[in-house]
Amino acid sequence: MYPILVSAAILVILVVLLKCVYSILWVPYKIQHHFHKQGISGPGYRPIFGNTAERRRLVKEALSKPIASPFHHNILHRVFPTYSMWSKMHGETFLYWFGTKPRLALSDPAIIKEVLMNTGGLFERMKFDPVTRQLLGAKGLMELTGERWAAHRRISSSALNMEQVKGWVPKIVASITDMLEKWEEKRAGRDEFEMDVHKEVQNLSADIVSRTVFGSSFEEGKRVFELQEKQMHLASQYHSHVPIPRFLPTEKNRELRRLDQEIRGSIWKLVEAAKNRRKDEKSRNLLSLLTSSYKNHDGEEEKLEINMILHEAIRLYTPVTMLVREPCKDVKLGNLHIPANTPLIMAVIATHHDTKAWGEDADKFNPLRFSEPRKHLASFFPWGLGPRTCVGQNLTLVEVKLVLAMIIRQFSFVLSPAYVHAPAEFLTVQPQYGAQILFKKILN
């Protein structure tokens, strides 16, 4: 009996070892060889850890060096340092590794258009890891596929269409008004005062979401946003290392679970409170007053200029540095044969700064470039392209335009000497050290 048990144990160990060799060595090197034959190189696979150490080193170096004065808008090396470095070494399309999983990075507008505009279900979002799923919502719009995604998309698009957003304008204006009143208190009669606009706008966005979604205010939903900010910090740390299984009782895993439970509980309290709150969605008079008061004899030209300025700012400082899709079967893109389930990392920020698409002045702020048709549809896609275009685009643009319009009516502003130009990716692109602005009251 004993020899049989020993033999069985040895057999099990051998099977496990063979599976490990297969998944850790054979499959990655086979994939790497497949792309090498097509002329695609990269930093090279390292067993188990992939390129995690190099990624962490590049990100750490990038965040340690703010952009020196005079400021410029060439920010790729700070917000997407891996793509910046590896594309210089291996070309604009290259292969790198997240643990034992391959990633194919690219920025070719033609390939990006083919991927994002596909309506046949050939390319899906990459399945979220457990931490990202917690942060963005399990079974939410960003993760769903097929018919379930289509049904949720129709509901979301209807809820966030322009007519609905117009109905929220009074609530958005109320949030902005509250913020500006606090600024007046901060000014305390002085001609000039300084604000960290990054923090102010974060709080403003949270207040607008609270009012439009839950019918409450930022103060009521404040705990949710504080918890989500902590959750984002932990998620950012998680993605900079080789993932640790969620079932292990590490300190970070325990904290992530605690945050998730508290966030869910707090949101349900807001939902219940919203059900019991009287709703008033019919007041739209302010919208007509607001739009008429913004118009002058050059109203349409003024609107066009604002749109161009916003588009150029978003092009240079795209909030999301990359979009990710996976082919559900083997596919050919351009001249590349790509195996099924290979994540495609579409470098949005690199495409937005590409001199081939935007000219030699691609890193300069020039809103007039949007007065002419773009050379390629996928040269500018901050909201995505195709069927999965961001459903919150209308709300975001209306919010930004209203904020700008209401601020410039009361204040002039310049960068503070305390400002440090250091854009960084923290799930989205944000100023690493805040955005200190000096404001001066406009006297009527």
pLDDT in tens, 142-187: 667 777 777 777 877 777 788 888 888 998 999 999 999 999 999 9
| Burial of 203 from C-beta contacts in 10 A (0-12 / 13-18 / 19+) | middle
pLDDT at residue number 287: 29
Cα(87)–Cα(95) distance, integer angstroms: 10
Which two structure tokens, joined as six digits, stand for 104? 């194919």
Strands 428-431 and 423-426: antiparallel
Contact 410, 418 (CB under 8 A): no
The 3-state secondary structure of 150-182, one letter per residue: HHHHHHHHHHCCHHHHHHCHHHHHHHHHHHHHH
Q: pLDDT band for position 285 (50/70/90)?
A: very low
Cα(181)–Cα(183) distance, integer angstroms: 5
Looking at residue 210, the DSSP 8-state letter turns out to be I
Residue with more model confidence, 379 or 216: 379
Cα(151)–Cα(141) distance, integer angstroms: 9
Tell me what percent of the residues of the chain surpass a pLDDT of 70: 77
- Pick out the residues of the known binding site: 390
Tell me what percent of the residues of the chain surpass a pLDDT of 90: 50
Domain 38-441 -> CATH class? mainly alpha
> Span 22-26, mean pLDDT?
88
pLDDT at residue 292 greater than cutoff 50 = no
Residue with more model confidence, 218 or 372: 372
Cα(160)–Cα(222) distance, integer angstroms: 23
Q: Which stretches within 64-168 are classed as H helix?
A: 76-79, 81-90, 109-116, 130-136, 146-159, 162-167
Q: pLDDT band for position 283 (50/70/90)?
A: very low
pLDDT at residue number 248: 62
- Pick out the residues of the known binding site for heme: 390
pLDDT at residue 394 greater than cutoff 60 = yes
Contact 170, 182 (CB under 8 A): no
In angstroms, what is the C-alpha Rg of the chain? 25
Compute the mean pLDDT over every residue in the chain, rounded to the nearest whole number.
83
Sign, Cα dihedral of 177, 182, 183, 188 = positive
The CA distances from residue 54 to 31, 68, 90, 100, 351, in Å, are 20, 25, 15, 14, 23
pLDDT at residue number 297: 41
Ranking 72-81, 139-148, 294-303, 406-415 by mean pLDDT, the lowest is 294-303
pLDDT at residue 87 greater than cutoff 80 = yes
> Span 10-22, mean pLDDT?
79
pTM over 0.85: no
pLDDT at residue 216 greater than cutoff 80 = no
Peptide bond between residue 70 and the one before it cis (omega within 30 degrees of 0): yes
